[in-house]
A and B are shown apart, each in its own frame.
Chain A
Amino acid sequence: MSRETANHVRYIDKTRAYYEAEGYGKPYEWAHFDHIPFTPFAAVGNPLSQCRVGVVTTSEMVRRGAEVGPDDPRRLVYSLPTDIPVDELRSRKAAYDRYATTLDDVDSYLPLTHLHRFVTEGRIGAVAPRFQTIHSEYSQRKTLTVDSPEILKQMREDRVDVAVLTAV
């Protein structure tokens, strides 16, 4: 077993113990599937240098300085343009390790600057015109039946070839 496999944090065990100690009853059942879908890259039919890359994040991005309304309890998928400089974006995400790190540098969880640079360098063809924020949800049903189809719809509209997803 490699070192990183041996030492990585067991979040499933830790959250179960934590919420049990807080008095919550039935532990959360994390999503699990025996089958994993797979689309080989060859199916895209183009080299990466001609691919349009879509981007999805859980980092709940908003524009800096923009008036932020009250939280929408439906917590639907929303998108923002990928050509906004990262300095003009910020994350509203509350669920991250606030003791060990920060979300001050957008490129550490939403690597838009680097993706644009890879376009300039010819490594990838293009970045999709917008990226999607998906909320981390308790309800797997909502993620499966509401959020994921919406992301697919937007990516098809944007003619995305491959997708990068960043989980904060």
Chain B
Amino acid sequence: MSLAARHLEDNGIPTVVFGCARDIVEHCGVPRFVFSDFPLGNPTGKPYDIDMQREVLSLGLDLLVSAKAPGTTVATPYDWSADHSWKDKIFSKEQPFLDPEATRKWLERKDAYRALKASGKI
């Protein structure tokens, strides 16, 4: 996603990225970034919180216009919950990131992709 933003920007289209993985996006480097300190999945506001969603999008539109330099991050003012315990078990054995079915599909896809690559089809 960050790479796509960079490509659009390189070709004259101003971009704003909305995301929850601040370290990954900033490590790559994108022109404009709206960061929500939320679990992966809701980069444009909490589910069913219409006012928050509208405000987060609005922050991004403001940033599109106002950013003076690349690599500008704006953090939304919202907390996911009063405590931050949701952060504790991310990518842990108790809470594997993908469920077994998704992991199986991911491994299948990887094999299929490698086969396509080996045969010169991509």
Kindly state the separation between the CA atoms of A99 and B85 in the bound complex, as whole angstroms: 11
Q: Are B4 and A96 in contact (CB under 8 A)?
A: no
Interface pair B16/A12, CB less than 8 Å apart: no
CB nearest neighbor in A for B8: A163
A166 touches B4 (CB 8 A): no
A32 neighbours in B (Cβ, 8 Å): 27-29
Q: With the chains together, A129 CA to B13 CA distance in Å?
A: 17
The reply to whether B23 and A41 form a contact with Cβ atoms under 8 Å apart is: no
B94 to chain A, nearest CB (A): 9
A96 CB contact (under 8 Å) in B10, B29, B39, B45: B39
Knowing A18-B97, A32-B28, A100-B80, the reply to whether A40 touches B14 (Cβ < 8 A) is yes
B-chain residues with CB within 8 Å of residue A44 when the two chains form the complex: 14
Inter-chain CA distance A2–B98, complex, in Å, is: 31
Do the beta carbons of A18 and B102 come within 8 Å of each other?
Answer: no
A41, B13: Cα distance in complex, Å: 9
The residues of B with any CB-CB pair to A shorter than 8 Å are 1-25, 27-31, 35, 37-50, 53-54, 56-58, 60-61, 64-71, 75, 80, 84, 86-87, 89-93, 95, 97-99, 102, 105-106, 108-110, 112-113, 115-116, 122
The contact sample of 16 A-B pairs, CB cut-off 8 A, is A36-B70, A41-B65, A98-B41, A99-B39, A100-B41, A101-B41, A101-B42, A105-B42, A110-B44, A147-B4, A161-B13, A162-B16, A166-B17, A166-B43, A166-B44, A167-B43
Q: Given A21-B93, A95-B40, output 4 extra A-B contacts at Cβ < 8 Å.
A: A38-B31, A71-B105, A74-B122, A107-B44
